[in-house]
Chains A and B, each alone.
Chain A
Amino acid sequence: MVHLWIPDYQSGKGGIQVFTNYFIRALEQLLPDSAISIFSKNDTSLPPLSARISPTRFRSAGWWPAALRTSVFSAQIVRRALAERPDLVISTHVNFTPVARWLRRLAGLRYVTVAHGVDVWGVRSGSLPQALRGAERVLAVSHFTRDRLLEDMKLDPQRVAVLPNTFDPEQFQPSPKPRYLLKRHGLRPDQPVILTVTRLASAERYKGYDQILQSLPAIRAAVPNVRYVLAGRGPDRPRVEAMIRELGVGEAVTLAGYIPDHELCDYYNLCDVFAMPSKGEGFGIVFLEALACGKPVLAGNKDGSVDALLNGELGVLIDPDSRAAIEEALIAMLQRRHPLAILNDPARLRRQVIEAYAFPQFVKILGGHLRESGLAPTF
């Protein structure tokens, strides 16, 4: 039996939720004979689950008032863990690991956790490093995150493994620019489009959309009819709007708002370059999705994006703090004269990203880690 602790399954739609969904699917494949119980902290409704996971094995503390939620969730996971004594506890967020460490000391339960990125970077003291040291395995989503863990928390390198993110190539297929989106945003079919998909929140400004907005005047000078489509919603929007007015680039920017899942693939296909010169990506699933649609990708060279783009094999990595580098790269990419040849070969981009990161790879890597720690497939 496995207990899986997750922040949420569907109440938010960020990288960690997407990762959690794949993680659950992979566990189902790897552990066909084990019961899997899911404990969610924030979900307010029962998510669509696969046939293998009984709804009675899904518990959530999400309907409790926010002030009580952490306590209720902790009580739930401790109570069930002590009652059922699972063979393994897996936490898809490091913040739950201090509870797991306590359970280990009390009842000898073993646990594994997933470290994404900003959740662990720069943490050097407190209960978290200790809790991670007690884990059977810490699965970092990128080499970058792993290196930071080893450096900041001085973890045992043997116990920190890399489990890169994954994506579904079936859901992300190349297509011509979808006409309904061209119409929705008043774009011409031949008009060059730069796309970023992110939440607009002050905590997410590290994604680099500010930098792209500031680069736009220079990019427009070289590519006059360029349009920057910034997709996503959040409380940072008024500030972004003000910044667009200040820069006088209103005509060249579309704030597309929230993108439902079923339109995401169409948005990738709308663009000519997917750009997110972020400084804080744990990995960046969006890069994989854009690549699967055959799109050239621009990313920062100071975070987990480096993994997603295979150290620059699949896309352009630049210094996210250098506006000049962003301008230069985007202009070259839009004018199709960037020296990286693969950028102009959509079929190859798709093929290579599938080879590196499609779901079967993910299952294989996770299975390997579980086996190495003597955790699968025997429990």
Chain B
Amino acid sequence: MCGIAGILESSLAREDLVAQLTGAQAALRHRGPDDEGIYLSPDGRTGLAHTRLAILDLSPAGHQPMRDASGRYVITFNGEIYNFQTLRAELAAEGETFQSQSDTEVILKMYQRHGPSCVREFEGMFAFAIWDEQERTAFLARDPLGIKPLFYHERDGVLCFASEIRALLKFRQVLPRVSAPAVCDYLLFGSVQEPETMVEEVHSLPAGHYLIWKDGRFRTRPYWDVKFSSEPFTPPQAAAAVREVLLDSVQRHFVSDVPVSIFLSGGIDSTLVLALATRVRDARLRTFCISVDDPAFNEGDVAARTAAHFRTEHHDLRLDAPTGRHLLQEFLARSGQPSIDGFNTFCVSKLAHDHGAKVVLSGLGGDELFGGYPSFDRVPKLVGANRWLGLGGSLKEFGGRCVERFSRGPQYRRLGSYLAGLPSAAGAYWCVRGIFTPHEARVLAAKYAGADGWREGAIHFGVPAQPTPRDEVSYLELTRYMRNQLLRDSDKMSMAWGLELRVPYVDRKVVETVARIPAALRLAPGKRILLEAVPEIPDWVANRPKRGFLFPYEHWMTEEWHDVFRQIESESPLPLQNWYRRWSIFALENFLKKLGIS
């Protein structure tokens, strides 16, 4: 995959603009080590940059930024369009001619002929910018579910953008000032919620949105959103629909001019991807897995058995505390916005990279769509409890505050805080998924950002209406945890190793199809619908109790990694108590230090 950056309608001197653009490009080199390019408009006011990881059309014809034959349109693109061959054939039938075999040229031609609504036809992951030299307008877009990142900054009619914040900071108009509300958000949830970012005035273009830039002004518009509709399905119909759409998605995600491998854990989601992949591919597949020396967390044995069952070429990285610690430094050097996740993806991506893999499929997204998290049960229960307790009037608030104030466990303090407030689903979601209470987050944000950054809507934010409370949880998991944490970390950590991660569950067609199935079937316990849809999943995976892809952090932090985390604990204004709270502060300090943000 690739890195993109650009600056539009700047009044900088030509040399200065080129220097800043080249700086941004250099900061993106790890994303695309195979090729790079810069486009500068004839008047020297607009520049686009690209770094390329060649996956499709490995020839120089796929070079970017790419211009159309007339020279009017220029594109810089990060991602993959899996249906580009179909679209290409359709455009050819309309009389269009092509210079390359790449998906990039298809995007360019689609926009040229059909305008902004062309994004509705792209199946895949993407973030791109198209500059129209004649009209002097730009069109920036991001994929429907937010797989590929795109950050932007506007000041005085000049817009700059990049795939990573670190690259965006190479443009001098972007000042390295930390955003207090974003820090507060991060401490509440463990990740920064788009469109906010850790840097003041830098925004993430939200998933499923595009941005049109004209005459020094821009507007963003949504073109897609998740919507559950609960239509009539019998269980067999639902299972058949799920199988058909997932099989189709896995097949589409194999579009590549280099070999495609699979990240395999002991869980249902990645096993399903492997099972369906063996249906659509004849060649022997390669699988990668991380195992740990703590049997309570280890998934390596199950994955190895599954790999043997499907006859893959299986690679396993045995991770113990010393190896982990060694990788930790490198992880910190390469991480972007802080998050309490990402280290596991970093490790498994390194393993794949060390074995020469360039494209890997992952089971990310299965939990969000098919109810793999405890939040699917807990959030509706919490909302119900909070509503009924509401009959007690202000007693509820008093009781909640007491629980928050006097409990020892962080989860009980969050519970108390939630019960003292509104019975919103978003609040309950925070209670289940959150890290610090609002009070704690404000104390810590004041320390790290100089202001507490608190906003009323930070926890009780609005959620579009869905048919059932469990659909609402699915919406929250897809648009908060997955979008702002899992996908951000996966992009950043795989790109750190020049590896393209593909996510067949996180696909517009899959989500649209699955969203029509009622929650009672779709979110049945133990992912029953997936087991019925794909009976090839072996029993030892199907019957295994659900476990997250976790490392024994708690143990490592108190033993082998103790010295690294001791200082964080001792300097903290409040007790950190468990691994994810310690990690969140550790990651935040690293981010602030590395970027020299004040």
Contact = CB atoms under 8 A, between A and B. Distances in A.
Interface string A169-207: 011000110111001000000000000000000000000
Interface in A1-38: 10-11
B462 A266 contact: no
Contacts, number: 81
B224 A180 contact: no
A12 to B, nearest CB: 9
Given A55-B424, A260-B227, A262-B223, A49 B457 contact: yes
B422 A54 contact: no
Contact of A63 (B224, B229, B387): B387
B457 A45 contact: no
A51 interface: yes
Contacts of B593: none
A193 B483 CA distance: 38
A179 B465 contact: no
B426 interface: yes
A179 B117 contact: yes
Contacts of B219: 170
Contacts of A170: 219, 221
Interface in B88-144: 114-118, 120-121
Interface residues of B, number: 34
Nearest to B209: A262
Given A171-B221, A258-B229, A45 B465 contact: yes
B121 A180 contact: yes
Contact of A45 (B221, B223, B462): B462
B222 interface: yes
B115 A176 contact: yes
Contact of A55 (B208, B460, B466): B460
Nearest to A179: B114
A125 interface: no
B8 interface: no
A247 interface: no
A176 B114 contact: yes
B422 to A, nearest CB: 6
Contacts of B457: 49, 51, 54-55
Contacts of B456: 54-56
A377 interface: no
Nearest to B144: A262
B455 A51 contact: yes
B487 interface: no
Interface in B393-443: 421-426
A45 B116 CA distance: 32
B12 interface: no
A48 B225 contact: no
A48 B465 contact: no
Given A176-B114, A180-B121, A11 B465 contact: yes
B19 interface: no
A179 B221 CA distance: 18
Contacts of B114: 176, 178-179
A51 B456 CA distance: 8
Contacts of B224: 262
Nearest to A269: B117
B225 A10 contact: no
B507 interface: no
Contact of B115 (A43, A47, A175): A175
Contacts of B387: 63
A17 to B, nearest CB: 10
Interface of A: 10-11, 43-49, 51, 54-56, 63, 170-171, 175-176, 178-180, 183, 258, 260-262, 266, 269
Interface of B: 114-118, 120-121, 208, 219, 221-225, 227, 229, 387, 421-426, 455-457, 460-466, 472
27 contacts: A10-B462, A11-B465, A43-B465, A45-B462, A45-B463, A45-B466, A46-B422, A46-B424, A46-B425, A47-B462, A47-B464, A49-B462, A51-B455, A51-B457, A55-B424, A55-B456, A55-B457, A55-B462, A63-B423, A175-B116, A176-B115, A178-B114, A179-B114, A180-B121, A183-B121, A258-B229, A269-B117
Given A46-B460, A55-B456, A55-B457, 20 more contacts: A44-B465, A45-B425, A45-B462, A46-B424, A55-B422, A55-B462, A56-B456, A63-B387, A63-B423, A170-B219, A170-B221, A171-B221, A175-B115, A179-B114, A179-B117, A180-B117, A260-B227, A261-B225, A262-B221, A269-B117
